[in-house]
């Protein structure tokens, strides 16, 4: 398709929308792609399309409308990269375009989709930049949830727009992890029984369910997922389904992990999938897990955090223990009580465990007791990990300090929480250091 360079308002409108669609296609591909590459290349495409539209200098109301949309896409991607200043800049550019449209074309207002994105990002900006302290939400819906419901109601007659706004709710839910829950049980039940979900909807919904620890429902969505009804699954969903089954200690995990590896054309997430497959084989006493380890070693330049995690894990393969791995998977699948049961079965093995394994044992007990709201036991085991000898090759002490601070917040002991958020910042955490330290700093900022 070639671009028409004549400068009539009609042609400029057409060209502007084509440029916008090109940017939107890049954006959608990025957030659903199994490759999970850096956002930089996608941002470059979107910014190039933004520049093309800007050069049209059209008098059409779609001119600022499309520019605003591209700016919102950039803001979203910058948020995912924690580039908060860039995200803020892109967001305010979008606001300026909306203002320009309001002045020139009073009857041409942003549709409900843009109003919802605007509200979601504003709530996030207030949380990050306005130095708001965390407060307990009053009984009832939070403002963003209320706005989402109102927006869905307004768009009820436009089925395509209504479906897109519903999808955006799940994307916002999954992306901004400090936002309160947006999607309620009624919407969950409705979407779970909707057999016409497309791949992007399945991707967003299962991410939102995972964030809110609805693991069985996540598995249900993944089982239903195909690509727009053509029974061709997005390959990334095979990986998510395999991992979800693995966390349920379900033998079907092997089939979907192998299916992902069979169809994955790029190196990204291969090491991570092989790691999960190796754990499946380890739990089932199959020697194939050695082949998986070799394939993880063969990944020479891991780019995703998941692949870097896999490379980190096999450095400590000598410390792998069936009981610890099984407890970890059960925890990731939300079965916290059974996770504790598996660990307690190992008590007789403790004298034979290495220092690193004992550290992990206490950490996993603490995490499960924390989730079970048995805070007395959680504090005891978290403190054991935090006060252990320096173990710079493990991430457990830094994370234990962070989660222990969280327990003290639940117990309404902010001074103790500050002590352990600061303790987290003093401890190294290979591979995960920047993420956990950033969370600790943000929590301290909100407490001060």
| Burial classification of residue 156, based on how many CB atoms lie within 10 Å of its CB (0-12 exposed, 13-18 middle, 19 or more buried) | exposed
Q: What is the pTM of this model?
A: 0.68
Look at residue 8 in the predicted model and tell me its pLDDT: 36
pLDDT of residue 11: 43
Long-range contacts of 315-324 (CB under 8 A, 24+ apart): 315/393, 316/356, 316/393, 316/394, 317/293, 318/354, 319/354, 319/356, 319/357, 319/360, 320/282, 321/346, 321/349, 321/353, 321/357, 322/282, 322/283, 323/349, 324/357, 324/360, 324/361, 324/364
> How many angstroms separate the CA atoms of 281 and 273, rounded?
12
Low-confidence residues in the chain, pLDDT < 70: 1-17, 32-38, 61, 82, 84, 106-144, 160-161, 171-201, 225-234, 390-392, 431-434
pLDDT of res. 2:
29
**What is the C-alpha to C-alpha distance for residues 405 and 382, in angstroms, rounded to an integer?**
10
pLDDT tens-place string over residues 200-231: 667 777 777 787 777 887 887 777 765 434 44
Q: Tell me, what's the pLDDT at 117?
A: 63
Convert the pLDDT of each residue in 389-410 to its tens digit.
Answer: 766 678 899 999 999 999 999 9
pLDDT (0 to 100) of residue 24 = 80
How many CB atoms are closer than 10 A to CB 126? 11
Domain ranges of the chain: 1-110
* pLDDT attached to residue 34: 54
Rounded to 5 degrees, φ, ψ at 181 are -60, 130
């Amino acid at each position: 398709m070639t671009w028409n360079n004549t400068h009539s308002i009609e042609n400029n409108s057409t060209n502007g929308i084509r440029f916008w669609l090109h940017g939107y296609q890049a954006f959608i591909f990025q957030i659903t792609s199994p490759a999970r590459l850096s956002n930089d290349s996608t941002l470059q495409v979107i910014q190039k399309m933004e520049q093309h539209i800007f050069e049209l200098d059209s008098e059409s109301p779609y001119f600022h409308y499309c520019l605003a949309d591209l700016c919102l896409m950039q803001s979203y991607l910058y948020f995912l990269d924690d580039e908060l200043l860039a995200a803020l800049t892109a967001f305010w550019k979008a606001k300026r375009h909306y203002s320009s449209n309001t002045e020139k074309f009073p009857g041409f207002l942003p549709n409900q989709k843009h109003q919802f994105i605007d509200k979601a990002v504003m709530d996030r900006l207030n949380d990050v930049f306005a130095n708001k302290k965390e407060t307990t939400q009053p009984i009832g819906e939070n403002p963003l949830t209320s706005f989402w419901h109102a927006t869905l109601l307004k768009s009820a007659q436009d089925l395509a727009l209504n479906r897109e706004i519903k999808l955006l709710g799940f994307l916002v839910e999954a992306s901004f992890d400090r936002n309160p829950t947006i999607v309620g049980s009624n919407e969950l039940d409705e979407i779970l029984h909707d057999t016409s979900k497309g791949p992007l909807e399945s991707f967003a919904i299962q991410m939102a369910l995972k964030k809110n620890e609805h693991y069985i429902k996540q598995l249900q969505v993944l089982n239903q997922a195909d690509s727009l009804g053509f029974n061709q699954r997005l390959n990334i969903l095979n990986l998510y389904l395999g991992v979800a089954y693995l966390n349920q200690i379900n033998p079907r995990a092997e089939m979907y992990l192998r299916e992902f590896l069979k169809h994955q054309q790029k190196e990204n997430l291969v090491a991570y999938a092989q790691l999960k497959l190796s754990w499946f084989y380890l739990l089932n006493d199959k020697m194939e897990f050695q082949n998986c380890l070799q394939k993880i070693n063969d990944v020479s330049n891991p780019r995703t955090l998941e692949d870097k995690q896999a490379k980190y894990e096999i450095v400590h393969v000598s410390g792998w223990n069936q009981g610890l791995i099984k407890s970890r998977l059960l925890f990731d699948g939300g079965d916290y009580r059974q996770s504790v049961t598996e660990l307690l079965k190992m008590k007789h093995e403790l004298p034979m465990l290495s220092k690193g394994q004992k550290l992990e044992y206490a950490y996993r007990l603490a995490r499960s007791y924390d989730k079970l709201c048995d805070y007395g036991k959680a504090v005891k085991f978290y403190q054991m990990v935090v006060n252990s000898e320096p173990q710079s090759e493990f991430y457990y002490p830094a994370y234990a300090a962070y989660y222990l601070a969280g327990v003290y917040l639940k117990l309404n002991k902010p001074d103790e929480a500050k002590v352990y958020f600061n303790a987290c910042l003093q401890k190294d955490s290979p591979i995960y250091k920047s993420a956990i330290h950033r969370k600790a700093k943000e929590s301290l900022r909100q407490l001060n």
